[in-house]
C-alpha cells in the first residue's frame, strides 16, 4: 500500500481536526455520515465558534459522547479563532492545547495535514505492532516511542496508516485473516494460537 490515506473524509485542516475529534470511540464510517451536513452548516472555525450547543449537538448526536464532543468542538473553534487567528496550529504541542485534542488526535492531524513524522497509536496500531512483534509495549505511548525508532522519518505518516489499515481489514482483533496476510512471514504471532 504505497500511499495509504485516512478514511475520514475531509477537504482541509479544519474538516480534518473536526472529523478526528468526532472519531474518538466512533467509527470512521459513522463520522463520514455526520460530517457532510455538519460542514455544510459550519464551514470553518469562525462559523463553528459562533455555534450554539444545541445546533452542534443536533448534528453530531449519533456519534459517541456527543455532549462532550459538542462542548469541545465549539471551544476548539473559539480557541483557534481567538488564540491562533483562525489558523489551525501545526505542532503537536500546540494542537494538544486545543479542547478535545489529545496526543493521538494531535498526532493524526500533524501527520495527515502537515506531513509531520508523528505516529498516532490507536487500538489497531497498538494491537498490530505488538502482535507482529515489531514492538513490545504495554501502552500506546510506549508503542509510539518504539515505532518512531523503527521507521525512517519520511515514512512515519504513512506507517501509521499502514498499521492502522492492516489492523482494521486484515489483522483484526478477534479473527485475524492470517491466510490472506501479505506479511505473515515476519509476524511473531503467525501460526500461534
- The predicted-structure confidence for 103-121, as pLDDT tens digits, reads as follows 999 999 999 999 899 999 9
| Cα 142 from chain centroid (whole Å) | 18
**pLDDT digit string, tens, across residues 122-163:** 888 999 999 999 999 999 999 999 999 999 999 998 898 889
* Candidates 41, 97, 104, 158; catalytic one: 104
pTM of the full predicted structure? 0.89
Q: Is 104 a catalytic residue?
A: yes
Q: Is 85 a catalytic residue?
A: no
Handedness of CA 173, 165, 119, 79 (dihedral sign): negative
* Candidates 61, 93, 122, 145; catalytic one: 122
Amino acid at each position: 500500500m504505497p500511499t495509504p490515506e485516512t478514511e475520514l473524509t475531509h477537504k482541509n485542516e479544519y474538516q480534518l481536526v473536526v472529523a478526528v475529534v468526532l472519531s474518538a470511540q466512533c467509527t470512521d464510517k459513522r463520522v463520514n455520515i455526520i460530517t457532510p451536513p455538519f460542514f455544510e452548516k459550519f464551514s470553518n472555525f469562525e462559523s463553528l465558534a459562533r455555534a450554539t450547543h444545541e445546533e452542534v449537538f443536533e448534528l453530531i448526536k449519533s456519534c459517541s459522547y456527543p455532549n462532550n464532543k459538542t462542548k469541545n468542538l465549539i471551544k476548539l473553534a473559539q480557541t483557534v479563532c481567538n488564540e491562533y487567528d483562525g489558523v489551525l496550529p501545526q505542532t503537536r504541542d500546540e494542537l494538544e492545547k486545543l479542547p478535545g485534542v489529545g496526543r493521538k488526535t494531535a498526532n493524526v492531524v500533524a501527520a495527515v495535514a502537515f506531513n509531520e513524522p508523528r505516529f498516532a497509536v490507536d487500538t489497531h496500531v497498538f494491537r498490530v505492532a505488538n502482535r507482529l512483534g515489531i514492538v513490545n509495549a504495554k501502552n500506546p505511548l510506549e508503542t509510539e516511542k518504539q515505532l518512531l525508532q523503527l521507521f525512517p522519518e519520511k515514512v512515519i505518516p504513512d506507517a501509521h496508516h499502514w498499521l492502522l489499515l492492516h489492523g482494521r481489514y486484515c489483522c483484526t482483533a478477534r479473527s485475524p485473516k492470517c491466510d490472506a496476510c501479505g506479511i505473515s512471514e515476519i509476524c511473531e504471532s503467525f501460526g500461534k494460537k
